Amino acid sequence: MAEKTEAPKKDVTPLKLDPSFKYEVMKEHDGETLKICFQCGSCTSSCPTARFSDSYRPRTILRLSQLGIREKVLPSPTLWLCTACFTCTDRCPQGVEVASILRVLRNLAVNKGQVPEVFTMLASNIYETGYAYKISELRQRKRAELGLPPLPKASLDKVDKLLELAGGSKLIKSKETQ
């Protein structure tokens, strides 16, 4: 008789459930509609981003949020793939404010400093120049050669105030401390 061999043990780390997570989302404007999602999948099937991504699924993000699996939602870079086109919101038969809930989740991620590097860079560019992308001197000269007017200068004090109000300063600070 062949000797029995033990199956290799799998290293399974249980997911942490945080029942308070859904309430954090639901207390924000439009976040309260999270509770009425019944997981039909219309949002995912109509989402233009999901069509081109193997991992981005708004329905799944909402379910993970309902279940309180914070660790799979906030640090995930896929959270930032939403283009805020609102197709999901228009198509949801339950009236769930899907796009707004995704915005709430991104705001919670910002508060925790869980933001992809590219967005902290964009926020820093806006803070320093008023533009999401730094416009090089070469580009400015090219505009002049083509007879185009110089780009308008941003009011950096107003940009500073707006970033402070919108929470963008947190992004910049988290970049500075890296």
Contact with ligand SF4 (CB under 6 A) among 16, 39, 55, 148? 39
Angle at the Cα of 29 from the Cα atoms of 44 and 132, rounded to 5 degrees? 75
- Label residues 85-116 b or e (16+ Cβ within 10 Å = b): eebbbeebeeebbbbbbbbbbbebbbeebbbe
Length of the chain: 178
Among 7-15, 19-27, 93-101, 110-118, the segment contacting ligand SF4 (CB under 6 A):
93-101
> Do residues 101 and 62 lie in contact, with contact meaning Cβ atoms separated by under 8 Å?
yes
Identified binder of ligand SF4 from the candidate list 40, 67, 69, 162, rule CB under 6 A: 40
Nearer to ligand SF4, 88 or 163 (CB): 88
Rg (CA), the chain: 22
**Least separation in angstroms between CB 165 and ligand SF4:** 23
Q: Is 59 near ligand SF4 (CB under 6 A)? A: yes
Separation CA 117–CA 115 (nearest Å): 6
Task: Using CB under 6 A, pick the residue from 43, 73, 79, 110 that binds ligand SF4.
Answer: 43
> What does the per-residue mask of binding to ligand SF4 show for 4-23, with x meaning CB under 6 A?
--------------------
Q: Name the site residues for ligand SF4 (rule: CB under 6 A).
A: 37-43, 47-49, 58-59, 62, 82-88, 92, 94, 96, 98-99, 102
